[in-house]
Amino acid sequence: MIDESKIIVPPIKCQGIKTKIVPFIAEHVKRSEDGVWIEPFVGTGVVAFNLAPQKALLTDKNQYIISLYQGIQRGEYTPSIVRSFLELHGEKLEQFGGKYYTEMRDAFNENGDPLYFLFLNRSDFNGMIRFNRRGQFNVPFCQKPNRFAKAYVTKICNQVASVSRIMQGKDWTFKCCSWQEAFDNATENDYIYLDPPYIGRDTSYVGEWPEEEAVLLAEYAHKTPANVCLSMWKENEFRRNEHLYDHWSDFTWFEQNHFYHIGAKETNRHPMIEVLAIKRV
């Protein structure tokens, strides 16, 4: 069992982050310790960081998240390097406000530097990650020039330190690739955790997640010899997710209420029933 108060919070934020349901996932996932934990949509990494398997293949199409975690793993982005970077640019943000945020965003869209990505992710609107069709990051500023106050920078550096600690001594590979590639070579001993973008909700933050791709993912999940656990919303007060019923009904479902923070206004935030659909229980 994972104690909720001890959950490791990663330095990256994203929509659909699974921090709140980590204990629920840990309770239902029964994996073999010598198998590989495979996450083709690793996102912030919160699930892997908390389950802390010995062997893992953690992939995502977001190259900046992957490069950041590769850099932390290599010891290139230490908490003190992250602190210096955020302090330096945080001071300028405080001085010049939104204009500086836009300069940093333009620079990031030129240089693709993972530290710039971290800066933007922690000072943009709602910690969103969204790229336009040309692959350029386009989330606006959170409108708080004093964003990188001392306590906030310390919090982020502590998050970098804790994910770095978790990675140490583990056989983990971070890779930027398609989700299909992450399925290659998976064996019966391995466990694949799937948290794809959501169909039927706002997916603009990760580009398109068309129905055909979701159906293909279900096919891969059924064919792989590995065990599989899918995270997906089942229903809210307005609608139910037909894709889940159409393509995953032969898996065993476990349900929990999950409160998504997707809108700026409190009134836009609705509870959602989240399902873990598991192939072999």
Ligand X SMILES: C[S@@+](CC[C@H](N)C(=O)[O-])C[C@H]1O[C@@H](n2cnc3c(N)ncnc32)[C@H](O)[C@@H]1O
Of 41, 77, 100, 116, the residue at the interface with ligand X (CB under 6 A) is 41
Is 17 a residue that touches ligand X (CB under 6 A)?
yes
44 binds ligand X (CB under 6 A): yes
**Rule CB under 6 A: is residue 145 a binding residue for ligand X?**
no
Under the binding rule (CB under 6 A), the answer on residue 61 touching ligand X is: yes
- Among 8, 9, 11, 14, the residue binding ligand X under the rule CB under 6 A is 14
**Contact between 179 and ligand X (CB under 6 A)?**
yes
Closer residue to ligand X in complex, CB, 89/279: 279
The answer to whether residue 24 forms part of the interface with ligand X (CB under 6 A) is no
Subset of 188-227 contacting ligand X (CB under 6 A)? 195, 197, 206, 209
Candidates 17, 137, 115, 18; CA nearest to 68 is 115
Tell me which stretch binds ligand X (CB under 6 A): 14-22, 116-124, 135-143, 160-168: 14-22
274 is an interface residue for ligand X by CB under 6 A? no
Q: Which is nearer to ligand X, 71 or 197 (CB)?
A: 197
Q: Does residue 260 interact with ligand X by CB under 6 A?
A: no
Among 8, 9, 36, 47, binds ligand X (CB under 6 A): 47
Q: Which of 9, 11, 16, 70 binds ligand X (CB under 6 A)?
A: 16
**CA distances to 2, 32, 41, 164, 171 from 149, in Å:** 31, 43, 31, 23, 35
Give the nearest distance from C-beta 5 to ligand X in angstroms: 19
b/e burial code for range 234-252 (CB count within 10 A of at least 16 → b):
bbbeeeebebbeebbeebe
Residue in 35, 36, 56, 60 binding ligand X, rule: CB under 6 A: 60
Residue 123 Cβ, how far from ligand X at the closest point, in Å?
A: 19
**Which stretch, 54-62, 69-77, 100-108, 215-223, contacts ligand X (CB under 6 A)?**
54-62
* Residues of the shown chain interacting with ligand X in the complex, contacts defined by CB under 6 A: 14, 16-18, 40-41, 43-44, 46-47, 60-62, 178-179, 195, 197, 206, 209
